[in-house]
Structure 1
């Protein structure tokens, strides 16, 4: 890439989608992600200010949503913690779902940089593969988490019956399956909207997906426990 081209790219308005990005990407074999960041944090840009400006409102909203989740936890803690294994499982599930949201967000942001526009996920092999990989990882972690929780409660002298164990496994499986689908959908929808506005999806997706996972995990678990037990 010549110096004049680089200067022109840096001078593009950060919210403008410019054909030069695609021309340079194709002729110079430079990824669109790299060129996106050259434009996003181009001439005269102060990186931390750009990140704070794009992330601050989202972080405030995500914090409010998480606070609502805390209030919901206080309201429903009697139901949620009526069974000892869920005392162990709840924080593990919350952490796991938040981590999966981060993985989905980062991977989808990368795909957006590389492809600019994404087809529907069911028609895109990379997105289908990402969904299957995340779901498979989630189910493996469910087995580990449930096994650990049951082992801890058994060693503590409160071993649940076989029927109760089956219900716990079913509740956790359905909870994780539903939330992985929801977090995946939220990441795809939010990431596409943010990228089309010329913003960096990395500054938005992670707080959004983790906040959604935190709140919905409480609501879904309480609902499933109420039905199953």
Structure 2
């Protein structure tokens, strides 16, 4: 894939994606607005919102960066038996499973210091863990799909994949957190 490293070429590839993703972000705001009363009732969940969506986007971005590097090196294969691809996906999930319990514990601790109505530590950690595990899997899927589409369209994944992954993970982060709270919080 010949890459044009000019501001015009990068803008031409990125601007339509960013404009479309702006509309996608509106969905995140709408879901968050419908979730407001629960967040105000349980402040530790309110603390989880930005951390959860940020961490999910970061996990997807790290994976996207690794896939983009493999793409540029010519070692990227979308074959189901690609050990490098599977290893990166497993590492992403394992990182989420180790990181999100700390995110939940930190949210609970911060809320405890500030005060207010709170959920039990175990409940907040469970919400963070389940949300993080689901988001890691979704971030992997979004990253793989975005990278594959960029590859098929002849676009440089460095220009389009990370913005797509971070924006879509923002929306998915809010939606998944909302669904997990509905399922796990009385």
- TM-score of the superposition, structure 1-length normalised? 0.73
Which residues of structure 2 form unaligned runs of 5+?
A: none
Number of the residue aligned with 1:99: 58
Q: For residue 185 of structure 1, what is the aligned residue in structure 2?
A: 141
Which of 146, 150, 163 aligns to 2:108? It is 150
- SS at the partner of 2:38? helix
Matched residues in 2 for 1:157 and 1:59: separation?
39
Say if 2:56 and 2:169, in contact at 8 Å, map to a contact too. Answer: yes
| Paired position in structure 2 for 1:49 | 8
Q: Is the aligned partner of 1:66 residue 2:51? A: no
Matched, 1:40 2:3: yes
d(CA) in 2 for partners of 1:194 and 1:178? 24
Q: Give the Cα–Cα distance (whole angstroms) in 2 for the partners of residues 160 and 74 of structure 1.
A: 20
Deviations 1:84-107 (A, max 9, x none): 211212111111111112111111
Give me the whole-angstrom Cα distance separating, in 2, the residues matched to 1:111 and 1:156.
45
- Counterpart contact for 1:79–1:222, Cα < 8 Å: no
What residue is the counterpart of 2:84 in the other structure?
Answer: 126
1:112 alignment counterpart: 71
Equivalent-residue separation in structure 2 for 1:116 and 1:94 (angstroms): 30
- Aligned with 2:41: secondary structure? coil
Deviation, 1:49, is 0.5
Offset from partner CA, 1:160-218 (integer Å, 9 cap, x none):
46xx3322222211111111111111111221121122210111111111111111111
* Greater Rg over alpha carbons, structure: 1
RMSD of aligned residue pairs (Cα, Å): 2.0
- Could you tell me which residue of structure 1 aligns to residue 158 of structure 2? 202
Native 8 Å contact 1:79 1:226 kept in 2: no
Instruction: Tell me the TM-score normalized by structure 2.
Output: 0.89
How many residues matched?
185
